[in-house]
Amino acid sequence: MLRINRETDYATAILSLMARQPQERYSAAWLSSKRSLPAPVVSKILKQLVRAEVLVSHRGAKGGYSLARPAEDISIAAVINAIEGPIALTDCIEGGNAACQYSAHCAVSHNWSRINDVFQTALEAVSLKDMSAPLPAEHPSLRALGERVKTAVS
């Protein structure tokens, strides 16, 4: 099964909450409370998002966390990369030919790479702003996805 990890899901939930009022600063405790998530997990996620420059950490009495840039400029791909690392559907995408002993005779790795590119493109087309509300069927990331897949793999 292809699945994002729990921390990525939590990060997306936290960030979509922040995207509703992007000019605000949020404490880890408040975010933990609003999303009913354990405080240590939220703190860990926030630190990872700061390292990846998705969030900015502010110190002092009016400290907390804020989005590093507008919510529409932060893609879900960036969130996944921040928490899980680069998107790679197979080992050969992440590690190249050296990742697999069969790479010299492999007929599918090139296709996996093309599929991975389509997956990456779809995730880059959805922003935190988009995730703060249900996506309409006509959203650009969903529209003609089948055609984009056909184009990418042909």
Answer for the pair 14, 45: CB distance below 8 angstroms, yes or no.
yes
> Per-residue pLDDT for 15 more than 90?
yes
The long-range contacts involving 137-144, CB below 8 angstroms and separated by at least 24 positions, are none
Task: Write the pLDDT tens digit of every residue in 43-81.
Answer: 999 999 999 999 999 998 888 999 999 999 999 999 999
Topology of domain 6-153, CATH: Arc Repressor Mutant, subunit A (1.10.10)
Distances (CA, A) of 17 to 12, 51, 69, 122, 123: 9, 20, 15, 22, 19
Task: Write the pLDDT tens digit of every residue in 98-144.
Answer: 666 666 677 777 778 888 888 888 899 889 998 887 767 676 666 55
10 Å CB burial of residue 50 (0-12, 13-18, 19+) is middle
- The pLDDT value recorded for residue 66 is 97
Answer for the pair 22, 71: CB distance below 8 angstroms, yes or no.
yes
In the three-class reduction of DSSP (H, G, I as helix; E, B as strand; rest coil), residue 106 is classed as coil
Q: What is the percentage of the chain residues whose pLDDT exceeds 70?
A: 78
Distances (CA, A) of 94 to 81, 99, 114, 131: 13, 8, 13, 27
| Distance in angstroms (rounded) separating the CA atoms of residues 149 and 147 | 5
> Per-residue pLDDT for 152 more than 80?
no
- The pLDDT value recorded for residue 55 is 98
When the pLDDT of each residue in the chain is averaged and rounded to a whole number, the result is 85
